[in-house]
């Protein structure tokens, strides 16, 4: 019998959060936990505020930001609006929350394992509408410029009317026999929807109609078995005026021309965690827990920080002069953006950080698996 590779087993475990009751802190490493080394002349990190909502349980729930307002939810169905860490309103939507939160400030959206999509008024928390998409939802719904986009666990995309939840369109594509479960949703703006799919494809859709605008190949499945051919995009793509980029597990990092989807460059590098970019670099966390900076022009290596191996670091986020990464033990790590040096560290609570860190100006907002939400400043 052919043995499964340890790395693939680990990622399958970490991405199947909706079927497991615990977070696996070694999911993106080799099981060997690296001791955190003391930092020389560390930058100052400061807790700005902290509060709590219900825990996420087996799901990945993350806050949504609109200006200085934060919307967040727990799996128990409680959705809150926070300002300065203080509760403005709290609403019980009456369903288990497995996908959320998505918001444009006016509309606040969550979804359930049974396909319920609930929209709340951002001003007062009242339920505006509730519809079903008849599919499990693990990702935060997205809303922008007259369209709500809900991604189901089977990778269908539903375009809904923001006023009443009426279905406008559905986008569906063929998927491989085996795909990883993921909480990644879509990137949405007024011009296009970007979504990564099992099998390594990145698609750009028209928000008004759901029609395919272009498709790019991030990874090509390879191997003798279905497990070896898993090459799924399990994190959000990123885009800038120069390029849109995505990364696949057992695949590559790839950047594409925003206008037509033509490939600018590719680089062999496997990740289930995700990436971020600035005007010069693409930052990505690989499956072993190393954080890389690549040249956005050609994919060449700029630096690599591997001191977080075994700690399950998540998606890197660029905040000013730093790259910020949360890990599976509740630590937030600060890397210098120009060379990757570890220069800061903070732990507010001992609970895994599975959700993407959210940028709030020069600060970062973090939601942990036990439901703690806090704003962290780096100086």
- Asked if 294 and 279 touch (Cβ cutoff 8 Å), the reply is no
Q: What is the pLDDT of residue 54?
A: 94
Q: For residue 362, is it within any domain?
A: yes
Q: Read off the pLDDT of residues 87-117 as tens digits, 9 standing for 90 and up.
A: 999 999 999 999 999 999 999 999 999 999 9
Query: Which CATH number does the domain housing residue 372 bear?
Result: 2.130.10.10
Q: Sorting pLDDT into bands at 50, 70 and 90, what band is 174?
A: confident
**Run of H or E including 127:** strand 127-132
The pLDDT value given to residue 9: 38
Is residue 91, in this structure, part of any structural domain at all? no
Domain count, the chain: 1
Residue 34 pLDDT class (50, 70, 90 cuts)? low
> Does a structural domain hold residue 47?
yes
Answer yes or no: is 328 within a domain. yes
CB 192 within 8 A of CB 203: no
DSSP 3-state of 182 = coil
Among 74, 83, 33, CA closest to 365: 83
3-state secondary structure 131-179: EECCCCCCCCCEEECCEEEEECCCCCEEEECCCCCCEEEEECCCCCCCC
Identify the weakest region by mean pLDDT among 44-48, 224-228, 279-283, 355-359: 224-228
For the residues 171-196, what does the mean pLDDT come to?
Answer: 92
What are the pLDDT digits (tens) for 320-374? 999 999 999 999 999 999 999 999 999 999 999 999 999 999 899 999 999 999 9
In a domain, 102, yes or no: no
**Domain-embedded: residue 334:** yes
Question: 132-164 burial, b for 16+ CB within 10 Å, e for fewer?
Answer: ebebbbbbbbbbbeebbbbbbbebbbbbbebee
Spatial separation of the C-alpha atoms in residues 3 and 230, rounded to whole Å: 15
Residue 242, SS3? Answer: coil
Q: DSSP 3-state assignment of 60?
A: coil
CA dihedral 197, 203, 206, 211 (to 10 degrees): -80
| pLDDT at residue 177, as a whole number | 85
Which range among 156-160, 177-181, 368-372 shows the weakest confidence by mean pLDDT?
177-181
Give pLDDT, residue 35. 77
Would the pLDDT of 18 be above 60? Answer: no
Q: Which domain holds residue 370?
A: 1-58+277-293+301-379
Residue 63: pLDDT over 80: yes
Residue whose C-alpha is closest to residue 369's, from 97, 54, 88: 54
Q: Is the pLDDT confidence value at 28 over 70?
A: no
Instruction: Please answer whether residues 34 and 308 qualify as being in contact, where contact means their C-beta atoms are separated by less than 8 angstroms.
Output: yes
CB atoms within 10 A of CB 28: 30
Residue-wise pLDDT tens digits, 280-312: 999 999 999 999 999 999 999 999 999 999 999
Q: What's the number of CA atoms in the CB half-sphere (13 Å) around residue 304?
A: 9
Q: What is the mean pLDDT of the chain?
A: 90
* Mean pLDDT computed over 213-218: 96
Q: Is residue 18 part of a domain?
A: yes
**Residue scoring higher pLDDT (28 or 35):** 35
Domain assignment present for residue 116? The answer is no
Mean pLDDT of 207-216: 96
Residue with tokens 């993921």: 182
pLDDT band at 33 (very low <50, low <70, confident <90, very high): low
Residue bearing the bigger pLDDT, 223 or 117: 117
**Cβ atoms < 10 Å from Cβ of 342:** 19
How far is the C-alpha of 147 from the C-alpha of 168, rounded, in Å? 9
To which H or E segment does residue 9 belong? helix 6-15
Integer Cα distance of 283 and 128 in angstroms: 38
| pTM, two decimal places | 0.90
Query: Using CA atoms, how far apart are residues 223 and 230, in angstroms rounded to an integer?
Result: 9
């Amino acid at each position: 019998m052919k043995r499964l590779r340890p790395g693939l087993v680990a990622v399958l475990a970490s991405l199947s959060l909706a079927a497991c009751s615990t977070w696996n802190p070694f999911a993106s490493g080799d099981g060997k936990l690296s001791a955190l080394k003391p930092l020389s002349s560390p930058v100052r990190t400061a807790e700005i505020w902290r509060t709590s909502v219900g825990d996420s349980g087996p799901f990945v729930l993350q806050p949504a930001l609109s200006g200085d307002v934060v919307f967040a939810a727990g799996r128990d169905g409680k959705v809150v609006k926070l300002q300065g860490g203080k509760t403005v309103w709290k609403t019980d939507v009456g369903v288990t929350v497995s996908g959320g939160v998505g918001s444009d400030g006016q509309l606040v959206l969550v979804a359930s394992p049974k396909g319920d999509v609930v929209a709340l008024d951002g001003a007062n928390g009242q339920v505006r509408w509730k519809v079903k998409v008849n599919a499990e939802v693990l990702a935060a719904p997205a809303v922008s410029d007259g369209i709500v986009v809900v991604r189901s666990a089977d990778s269908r995309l539903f375009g809904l009317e923001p006023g009443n939840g009426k279905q406008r369109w559905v986008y569906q594509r063929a998927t491989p026999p085996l795909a990883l479960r993921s909480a990644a949703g879509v990137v949405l703006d007024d011009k296009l929807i970007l979504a990564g799919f099992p099998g390594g494809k990145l698609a750009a859709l028209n928000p008004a109609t759901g029609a395919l605008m272009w498709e790019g190949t991030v990874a090509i499945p390879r191997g003798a078995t279905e497990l070896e051919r898993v090459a799924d995009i399990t994190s959000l793509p990123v885009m800038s005026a120069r390029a849109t980029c995505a990364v696949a597990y057992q695949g590559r990092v790839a950047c594409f021309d925003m206008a037509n989807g033509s490939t600018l460059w590719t680089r062999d590098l496997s990740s289930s965690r995700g990436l971020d970019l600035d005007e010069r670099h693409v930052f990505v966390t690989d499956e072993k827990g190393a954080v890389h900076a690549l040249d956005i022009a050609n994919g060449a290596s700029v630096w690599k920080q591997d001191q977080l191996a075994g700690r399950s670091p998540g998606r890197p986020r660029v905040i000013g002069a730093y790259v910020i990464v949360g890990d599976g033990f509740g630590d937030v790590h600060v890397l210098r953006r120009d060379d990757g040096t570890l220069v800061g560290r903070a732990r507010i609570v001992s609970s895994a950080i599975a959700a993407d860190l959210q940028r709030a100006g020069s600060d970062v907002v973090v939601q942990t698996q036990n439901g703690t939400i806090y704003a962290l400043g780096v100086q």
